[in-house]
Structure 1
Amino acid sequence: MEQSQINQDGINVLSLFDGISCAKLALEKAGIKINKYYSSEICPHALAIQNHHYSDDTNFIQLGDVCKIDGIDLRNEIDLVVFGSPCTNLSSINPVDRRGLEGTESKLFYEAKRIIRDIYLFAPINKKLYFLMENVASMTAKDRDIITNELSEIFPDVKLVKINSADVSPANRRRLYWTNIPNVGIPEPKQIRFQDIVVNGYVDKEKANVLLGSNVTLTNGIFRYHRMNIGNIIYKEKQFADQPTEKKLLEYPFILHKSGYIGKSRSGFTEYDFPNGCYRLPSVLESERLMTIPDGYVSDVPNISKTNKLKAIGLAMTVDVITGLLENLK
């Protein structure tokens, strides 16, 4: 399919490790028509979010486990493959198993490569296949180069771009993107701050830290937040938020003691209360905003716990970054 035809005719998309289908959100935001969207995902909570939105959409096709997909079956269909294979064993934040592409989960990259290779090799002559891959920027140079070389075996025109989501969102998220989409590059910065998206309270950083599958605690999380730069917290009082870090850490234990909060139960508190008297954690809605996911896309889905909603968001792609890269298809 020629580039000039994409916007008019629409495309068929395969999203591997699809999560909550942020690739679909990005394509729609980019104004690219989707004819069929094939989604490969096995997490029950992500699937519940997908089903909430797309169970009645006959063009949204769930394929299940990536290991069971035969690329040859899709050779006549797919115009674009989007994927972010598991970063579990690649990320520097994993202190237990950092075997990179040899790790139990991160080796699934090779399943994605197998599928893409078969689609490419057995596709009709002159049919163009585009792809976009995302993964953590903190992987080793060795793993980065292996991925580049593996993808270059299929696509000689592979380009690698490093982007921090903070350029277009209120949160840091440094990621590597491999693609053969023409003219991709660093997105035009947007002026949006962490403080701009909070419902109540005050923050002490211009941009939030990267979202993870879990956050810090409401008891002693403030120490991990400041000393390890992990997690995100929102303060009750602006005066406290504006204090130097060491003064915050000195005063906080007394505030916690006075509040009577012992961390065993959050019953009786909403997402926007400050049970420890000092700070709270970002809500599901605010976490959506940190990832530029539409308000309510995850937070309004029933019958999923807050913990599992936040995990699903933490594993997602930053929608506006993906939008900026996919816009070049037009």
Structure 2
Amino acid sequence: MSTTTQINQDGINVLSLFDGISCAKLALEKAGIKINKYYSSEICPHALAIQNHHYSGDTNHIQLGDVCKIDAITLSQEIDFIIFGSPCTQLSSVNSKDRSGLEGNESKLFYEALRILKDIYVFAPVRKKIYFLMENVASMYKKDKDNITKELTSIFDDTKLVMINSADIAPANRRRLYWTNIPNVGIPEPKDIKYQDIVVNGYVDKEKANVLLGSNITLTNGIFRYYKMNIGNLVYKDQEFANSTTEEKLLTYPLILKQSKYLGKSRSGFGEYDFPNGCYRLPSILECERLMTIPDGYVSNVTNVSKTNRLKAIGLAMTVDVIAGLVANLK
């Protein structure tokens, strides 16, 4: 029996490194790929709590813990597909204080993923094809991108590199590089979905939201950072204000804030869809799920994790529909 036939009948065994909230699993399922076993390597307690909310009773969802402690040789007899997005902390242009790249304290964990890839490739059963997909930020320096490409190609000589902005198929920007050896991989089919389409109430002033980060801007002076640094996302109370020019917004907002009497010391007493500063609110957890094409309620319904940590988990996740398009040919 060929490897391809066996995968079609029995499903694939997946190893997801730096798994976060298991968006790789959501993407594979959305692409119609049967999963036999899903090995998840993650250490963040908040991400693990979200995983456990969904998969605590699933014996095929296996948590491995710290990526540095994984015995890849033992796993090599099972794994068919490895997916990961190693930490971008020192690779991303957002981090203006430390862009040490692959030598950075967190981003050097790429080499742990590389160790695992090598061991699984070397010790896999004879004639078994191992597939992989790696994601990381498109804003990294060229030297880091070239080093990653060189290292991955040294293991899989059919490695390809594509750049995709999630905005092509999702309501938010997210420029990412993807390395993979999945055959005939291509850019997913574009979808016409806008930021305004996914908000519950209020109005936005951009066709596509900014990239989601681990944290958002404030409800006091965040509007200035939003326009001057192009960071964070806002939803406005008033459509006329949303449609006004940037100069008009920055000029009139301080008066609106003063009239609201919002001091920014506490958000107690306000709901996710209220406008405590009289002008704008931040996207809700549900709306952030939609920006990342994560199913409604997957994170927002997990009540034993704080709102801050749920939003952070979403900001660190993969865009589900992008991954689903990239892995489709595993079928």
Q: TM-score range by the shorter chain?
A: over 0.9
Aligned to 2:11: 10
Q: Please give the alpha-carbon distance, in whole angstroms, between the structure 2 residues aligned to 1:121 and 1:186.
A: 30
Offset of 1:5 from its aligned partner?
4.4
1:38 counterpart = 2:39: yes
How far is 1:2 from its partner?
3.6
- Could you tell me how far 1:185 is from its partner in structure 2? 1.6
Cα deviations by residue, 1:119-166 (Å, 9 ceiling, x for unpaired)? 000111001100000000000000000000000110000000000000
CA distance in 2, matches of 1:229, 1:80: 36
Amino acid of the structure 2 residue aligned with 1:217: T
What is the Cα deviation at residue 6 of structure 1? 3.0
Aligned residues: 330
CA contact (8 A) 1:259 1:277 kept: yes
Q: Which residue of 2 aligns with 1:110?
A: 111
Unaligned runs of 5+ in 1: none
Q: How does 1:161-172 map to 2 (within 5 A)?
A: 161-172=162-173
Name the counterpart of 1:153. Answer: 154
Letter in 2 for 1:243: S
Aligned to 1:185: 186
The equivalent of 1:141 in structure 2 is 142
Which string of whole-angstrom CA distances, capped at 9 and with x for unpartnered residues, describes residues 208-235 of structure 1? 0000000010001001111111000000
Counterparts of 1:1-330 in structure 2 under 5 Å? 2-330=3-331
Task: Determine helix, strand or coil for the equivalent of 1:153.
Answer: helix
Cα distance in 1 for partners of 2:6, 2:223 equals: 52
Whether the aligned pair in 2 keeps the contact of 1:6 and 1:32 (CA below 8 Å) is no
Q: Distance in 1 between matches of 2:45 and 2:194?
A: 32
Distance 1:14 1:182 in 2: 19
Deviation at 1:180, TM superposition (A): 0.1
Distance 1:4 1:140 in 2: 41
* 1:302 positional shift: 1.6
SS in 2 for 1:47: helix
Deviations 1:22-53 (A, max 9, x none): 00000100110000000000000000000010
1:5 and 1:124 map into 2 onto residues whose CA distance is: 14
Q: Percent identity?
A: 79
| CA displacement 1:68-110 (0-9 Å, x = unmatched) | 0011010110000000000000000002211000000000000
User: Helix, strand or coil for the counterpart of 1:276?
Assistant: coil
Q: Distance in 1 between matches of 2:286 and 2:7?
A: 33
Rounded to whole Å, the distance in 2 between the matches of 1:92 and 1:246 is 27
Q: Secondary structure at the match of 2:82?
A: strand
Q: 2:30 and 2:216 mapped to 1: Cα distance?
A: 29
Q: What CA distance in whole angstroms lies between the structure 1 residues aligned with 2:54 and 2:322?
A: 22
CA RMSD of aligned residues (A): 0.8
Distance 1:309 1:61 in 2: 22
In structure 2, what is the Cα distance between the partners aligned to 1:86 and 1:150? Answer: 17
Rounded to whole Å, the distance in 1 between the matches of 2:61 and 2:217 is 36
Kept in 2, the 8 Å contact 1:195–1:202? The answer is: yes
Measure how far apart 1:10 and its partner are: 0.5
